[in-house]
Each structure stands twice: as structure tokens, then as C-alpha cells.
Structure 1
């Protein structure tokens, strides 16, 4: 039996009303969810941390019974898709990129635009990994240089969106956390 729909949306989160939510979904403080996003907790719950930016057309799916945990300050760009069971903090999933259920991300990872990352066996990407070819096989570890500047820029971007989106989109409310 599929889980009952239950949404816990933090009072400081900005979630547009035309976001498609199914199952048990928790959205943390200062997270911004653009219009036309789909978050489906099909088998188990999804917990999204604070300060994330989820742009238009993003699809997040949990097909496992375990809780899908998404850390803080992650950025999901337009039309990306995520099915990985766990994700650390400060990751970037590029435009039209896909991360399948066999992959988990640590922190500060980057999946470049249009990359399909679908390892044949379950894999946890180490911190600071960058996947940059369309097949998802080319990768590098970056030094982390500039990570704090990027994080500050992402926080400023989220702050701007928290101000702007409510002016042009109706907001969705859930149980207040």
C-alpha cells in the first residue's frame, strides 16, 4: 500500500502551489521549490534539508522503503531528475542531469548538465567529485578551492528567490514544522 500523502513544509520554506507532491515529504527551512516540480515519495518518505534550491521541472523520486535523505544547500537545476537514496550537502545537479537509484552522493559533488549518472553497481561518490561526460563515466576530484564562495553565492541566490517567488506565485502550505 502506498504511503499516505503527508507534507511537512517548514514555515520559512518557499514552495509554489503548483508543485506536485505525493507521499510523505518533508521540506526544510529556507528551501525554495519552484513551480512545476514533482516530488514523489512512492515507497518511502523524502526528507529535504534546509537552504536547497529546486528549480522548474525537477523530478525527485523515492522508490525504496527507506527514507531518502537530501542534505542542506543542494541546488537542482532545471529539468534534472534524482532517484538516489542519500545525498549530502552543497551538491549541484546540472540542467537535465539524472542521478539513478544506484548512486549516492556525498557533499560538494557536481553532476554536470545532461549527464546520466547510473552506475551498474551501487556507488557512493566521494566528497568533491565531478561527473562531466554524458555517459557518467568521466570524473574528477576537485580541490574544493572556491567552495565557500560558491556556497555564499548559492545562499544569496536562495535569499533572492525567497523574496521574489512569493510575489508572482501562490504558496503551498503543509503541516508546519
Structure 2
């Protein structure tokens, strides 16, 4: 779908600060108190995007919904400069660091922190968890000696079997039509989630479960940041008129 085929539909709550030069396309609902910085991009290419209240979206942030289902973003989330978010579901009080990336198949809980430059991709194990060790794959059954004798050779024609040392002809090879066909694999879409209080950090995008200590102090700092932006941005930037 091209950008020309996207129909714009905006619903903006009260006390919302939306700077004029931010790019909004598609069906977007912005909750009350949300602050959108200049040069941020929000694209509802597939389904709609629904913001909660009191979110902060900083410069050069890209939020895209490529799925048909709605992208639901909770309250009091901080999207720092240059991050790209495609998660279909985001909880409350999350922080996405500078130039971080979150895939469209990863759901984010609440009170999570994605460090600067970190990339969150879905787990390659459908039933796995980021905090559990995946089970080893099942090994194929052992091949018996009788099964090895039935494997045809490539250098001997099928019409004239090679004689054995005892003078008796070799057993006939099974036809390809009689061989069992492999079962088709079921196509599964990889999916993953960040549970509550998960921190993603480091160059290897490692994950750990935080204890929740200091959450109140972090929330108080977020509220001060939000209040400062609501007072400063309208003084230096033109706002969108809806």
C-alpha cells in the first residue's frame, strides 16, 4: 500500500501538544496530554494506532503499524530520539532508548526499558521464553544395517543390478514412487514478548528481569520531563491545528 492510498483520520484528546512539522498518516488516535516533538513520524499503514495519555515522542522517532490489527500504546511511555517502534502492543511506563528498534512481532509489557541502540527481535523458538533455556531438538532415529543395504547406488544402472561376490544378484532397489514423502512443515510466525520490568541492554541485546526498585523515582522524573515539554514546545514551535 502506497502512502497515497492511506486515508488520514485523526482523533486528538485534550491538552495534547502536536508540533506542526511532525508527520502523521493513517488512522491515529492520540490520547490526552501526549507530546509529539518535531520531525517525528507516525504511520498507520495497516491497522490504526491508538495512543494512551501522557506519552512523549521525541525527535526523529518512527512508529509504524504494518499489521491489520490496531497498535495499542499505553500511558506514560517515553520514545527517545531516533527510535523505531513497530510493536503491536505496548503497556505503560516504558522507555525506548535512543536509536533502539522493536520488531512488529514483539509485544512489550509495562515498566520495560530498551537501552540505547538495542534491537528487540522475536525469539526463534516459538514456545521459548527469554528467561528459559530452549529444549534441544529431537534427533532422528538411528539407521539400522538393513536400511543401509536398501540404499541404491548412483553408479549402477537400475535395469542391471551388479552381481555380488557370491554370484547371486543384488536385491532390487525400491522405486522412488514407493518411498514415503516427507510431511510438510507447518509455517509458524515467530512471536515474542517482553514481560513487565524487563531491561534490554548491551551490544548483544541481553535481557534481564529488574526488581522494580526505584520505579517511583523514575516515574517522578518522567512527570517533570513531561511538564517541562508541555510548557516549552509551544513557545518555540508552531502547533498543528485539528
Shorter-chain TM-score category? over 0.9
User: Structure 2: 5+ residue runs without aligned partners?
Assistant: 125-189
Among 139, 142, 161, the alignment partner of 2:207 is 139
What does residue 101 of structure 2 align with?
98
1:30-50 C-alpha deviation (Å, 9 max, x unpaired): 111100000000011000111
Structure 1's unaligned 5+ residue stretches are: none
Q: Which moved more, 1:2-11 or 1:104-113?
A: 2-11
Q: State the Cα RMSD in Å.
A: 1.1
**Larger deviation, residues 120-129 vs 95-104:** 120-129
1:158 aligned residue (211, 215, 226): 226
CA deviation profile, 1:10-44 (whole Å, cap 9, x unmatched): 12110100010000011111111100000000011
Residues in 2 aligned to 1:146 and 1:112: alpha-carbon distance in whole angstroms: 17
Tell me what 1:38 maps to: 41
Runs of 4+ in 1 over 3 A off after TM superposition: none
Higher relative contact order (CA 8 A, sep 6+): 1
What's the TM-score once normalised by structure 1's chain length? 0.94
SS in 1 for 2:221: helix
How many Å separate the matches in 1 of 2:221 and 2:65? 29
2:194 to 106, 125, 129: 125
Partner of 1:79: 82
> Larger deviation: 143-152 or 3-12?
3-12
Q: How does the TM-score come out when normalised to structure 2?
A: 0.69
Compute the displacement of 1:3 (Å).
4.4
1:151 and 1:21 mapped to 2: Cα distance? 28
Q: How far apart, CA to CA, are the structure 1 residues paired with 2:38 and 2:204?
A: 29
Contact 1:76 1:94 survives alignment (8 Å): yes
In structure 2, the residue matched to 1:115 is 118
Instruction: Give the whole-Å Cα distance in 1 for the aligned partners of 2:74 and 2:113.
Output: 14
- Larger deviation, residues 52-61 vs 119-128: 119-128
CA offsets per residue over residues 112-138 of structure 1, 9 Å max, x none?
A: 0000111242111110000112343x1
Structure 1 residue 158, shift from structure 2 partner? 0.5
Instruction: Out of 4-13 and 75-84, give the one that drifted further.
Output: 4-13
Q: Report the Cα offset of residue 156 of structure 1.
A: 1.2
Q: Does 1:169 align with 2:237?
A: yes
The size of the alignment, in residue pairs, is: 173
